Amino acid sequence: MATSTETRFSLDGAGRVSLAVAFVAIQGLAFAGAYTIGRPTWYAFFMIGSTAVTAYVLRGDTFVVATATMGSILMVALGLPLFMFVARQQPSIVVEKALSSDVHRMLYLGVYGPLLAAIVSLAFGVPLAHLFSEGFAGQQLVESLVDLPLVVPHSVAGILILFGFGQGGAFPNVTVLGSMIGMVLAMTFVSAPYAVNATREAFESIDDRLEYASRIHGASRWNTFRRVTAPLAIRGMVTGGVLAWARAVSEFGAVAVVAYSVSFFYPPAGGEVTTQHAPVFVYGTYLQGGLAESGAVAFILLGVSALIFLLIRYLTSDSATTGGVV
């Protein structure tokens, strides 16, 4: 006769999925109830406790229960503010902001500018990532320079851009302060490490014997990279580009210093318009309109960014048809 533990382990895949779906549904109902009665703290304790119970039912292993419970504490810290943010939005203000032309311009710039930064990061980061994967003298010094933007305060990054590329910098004839070029440079500075590191990991995961086989059959290094290395690493490149884009979307400090407001060509208007990068725009809305209005703008930005991110992930997943590219 099977024990209770054996019964738990006998759940098939469909049963576990059903139980997980039920768990998520219960979590949602619990949050709605806790929020309705004004006791969101209760939900935090409920989430931690229910996670422990669910882990025990699914696995019956004290180690898994302990790790799931500890992990759920972090998930509460990350998820509860997001849930509260969504639940406390005022639909009328969200609709008003969604219909605002200023918000439309901000959204366009908030997607378009980071996209340019991600493309630049990949265009120059992929070759560097390939060099990292092969190794060279002085590599540690170059790696430290690439990773430096990860630890530099954001406002300092903007100042560095102005010193390096602004008036008296490397390109004296190029206007950086308050320009689209300056904004893209600031975004590229903070996002390039993500593109380089993700692509490097993809290159390092490729079996060296595949490239060797290509070379001994007469292929040049260019053809080997184009036909073997790059196709095998394309998913890492896409991941690096997505991470670079996401990092650029969220950048505030460097952009605020270099290009607080920028003018750019806006297709719906048929000409140039002036607006601010999304985080800067949200901050300005907060100063002028308070928490409710800035929260509505942030809600719209969060929704658009999440949709784009999920779409890219879907197109690059194993289950999606991508024409054999990835």
- 10-residue mean pLDDT profile of the chain (326 residues): values are 45 54 58 58 73 76 84 82 85 94 94 95 96 92 93 92 86 87 95 96 92 88 91 92 93 93 92 93 93 93 87 68 42
Which pTM does this prediction carry? 0.79
Q: What is the pLDDT of residue 170?
A: 82
Angle, CA of 148, 149 and 154, to the nearest 5°: 140
What pLDDT does 260 receive?
Answer: 93
Rounded CA-CA distance 79/57 in Å is 23
Greatest distance between any 2 Cα atoms in the chain: 83
pLDDT at residue number 197: 95
What is the reported pLDDT for 53?
76
Quote the pLDDT of residue 44: 72
For residues 262 and 180, is the Cβ–Cβ distance under 8 A? yes
In three-state secondary structure terms, 263 is strand
Class of domain 95-316: mainly alpha
| Main-chain dihedrals φ then ψ at residue 86, nearest 5 degrees | -65, -45
Question: Given this model, what pLDDT does residue 3 score?
Answer: 44
Delimit the domains of the chain by residue range: 13-88, 95-316
pLDDT at position 66, please?
Answer: 87
